[in-house]
Structure 1
Amino acid sequence: MTNNNGFKYISLVFGIVIILSLSGIPYTSQQTVSANKSSDSHEMSKSDVSGKAVGKADDKQEISHKQIVSLTGSFMNKLLQEINDDNKVIRYDTKEELLNEFKKISSEEVAARYIDFYFNEKEDGLYIKPTETPPWFQENNDYDMIQQDDNTVVVNQKNTSQLYGTYIVEFEFTWVNNQWKISDITHK
């Protein structure tokens, strides 16, 4: 029985030494990046080993699922303008006015490509071309997120629809002036 008590004592001491040595490690030095797609939060966050959020050690920006959904949804909503019976856009009279609205969420270059494709500007106003919307991001489907650099993230998503069949849509998001903007969109 003496051996058994000695073993318990050594195990207890060894366990205490391990706990004490682990507690001395600064939390900020052990950061992990995780993405949670199973709940509404869908936040990508830095956390320490205890699960607490910690301050950023660098200038790397992270985009959340909620931000991706918001930006891609806003972009599509701007494409789907309210129109009258003649396909005339009600809220905007020129491509420039619409472009200024898009620039709040995307680069001018990306917005201009879509505006030029989907809208005609005439003397009496702005008209939407009667056509289908592009293959787009599906909020509830899985996607891959690739960090290109500290301020650029690319999101790839493969979807299937009756109209387009299987397609891949790729969004590039860039951190500009303290906010995320869509900086490129590719359809494959």
Structure 2
Amino acid sequence: MRHRMNFKNILLSLIVILALPISFVANAEGNAKVSYDEQQNHQSQLQQKNEMIVMGETQEEEEEHTEQALTHEQIVNVTDKFMDHLVQDTDQYYNVKAYETMDEFKESFYGFASKEVVDEFVDVYYEIRDGELKVIPTSTPPWFEAEEDYNVQQTEEGTYVVSQETGNELHGNYTIEIEIDLNEDQKPRIMSVNYQG
């Protein structure tokens, strides 16, 4: 009888000893699986979040690029404004009516043209003589023709180069390149003017 009891106890102990590791392993595998699934879900969420951020940045960049595009109207406005301002009203002695000094006249351009461009043009067409700001009588420079074809290319700096092949009897054929920048308010400003041909 005692043998049977011992045998039963031993058998039960063996079953328990064998069953514990199996249930522990099964439980551990279940936990590992849950942990893996959770990790996969977390990584999936991070990946989706990163994709959304990338998509958002791309969309913002496209919107910014669309906002920053230089329009035909802006090109015509700034080039016309520059030439209209360069050709000042004068009296019969070629004295400029609206401005008294060269500095004052040059500063009046700075809202829509760089200092370099202003110096380049004003110094050729105006002078101080007898203490007066005078226009030097000559023809206007070759300039952008709004009705003619032209190309626009954006530079790495974010400015735009408007190039146009044109010509007339006085100046012959030439290519003009006008670099234009847009400020924060989307207002164009002439940064440089170059001629070829």
TM over 0.5: yes
Residues 71 and 105, structure 1, Cα contact 8 Å, conserved in 2? yes
The reply on whether 1:156 has 2:147 as its aligned counterpart is: no
The reply on whether 1:138 has 2:138 as its aligned counterpart is: no
Query: C-alpha displacement at 1:58, in angstroms?
Result: 6.0
The reply on whether 1:111 has 2:118 as its aligned counterpart is: yes
Query: C-alpha displacement at 1:149, in angstroms?
Result: 2.8
Q: SS state of the match for residue 158, structure 1?
A: strand
Q: Deviations over 1:86-109 (max 9, x none)?
A: 111000011111111110111111
Q: Deviations over 1:29-60 (max 9, x none)?
A: 7xxxxxxxxxxxxxxxxxxxxxxxx9753644
The reply on whether 1:85 has 2:73 as its aligned counterpart is: no
Distance 1:55 1:65, change over 3 A: farther
Q: Normalized per residue, which structure has more helix?
A: 2
The reply on whether 1:100 has 2:107 as its aligned counterpart is: yes
Q: Which amino acid aligns with 1:180?
A: P
Q: Normalized per residue, which structure has more strand?
A: 1
- TM-score normalised by length of structure 2: 0.64
2:191 aligns with one of 170, 178, 183? 183
Residues 83 and 89, structure 1, Cα contact 8 Å, conserved in 2? yes
Which runs of 5 or more structure 1 residues have no equivalent in the other structure? 1-28, 30-53
Q: Quote the Cα distance in structure 1 between the aligned partners of 2:191 and 2:103.
A: 18
Of all paired residues, the percent bearing the same amino acid is 30
Q: Deviations over 1:162-183 (max 9, x none)?
A: 1011111110001235332100
Q: SS state of the match for residue 72, structure 1?
A: helix
Q: SS state of the match for residue 62, structure 2?
A: coil
Moved over 3 A (4+): 54-60
Q: SS state of the match for residue 155, structure 2?
A: strand
Which runs of 5 or more structure 2 residues have no equivalent in the other structure? 1-54
| Higher alpha-carbon deviation: 55-64 or 164-173 | 55-64
RMSD of aligned residue pairs (Cα, Å): 1.9
User: Greater CA radius of gyration, 1 or 2?
Assistant: 2
Q: Quote the Cα distance in structure 2 between the aligned partners of 1:90 and 1:105.
A: 21
Q: Which amino acid aligns with 2:161?
A: V
1:3-152 correspondence runs (5 A): 57=62, 59-60=64-65, 61-149=68-156, 151-152=158-159
Distance 1:150 1:57, change over 3 A: farther
Q: Quote the Cα distance in structure 2 between the aligned partners of 1:136 and 1:169.
A: 7
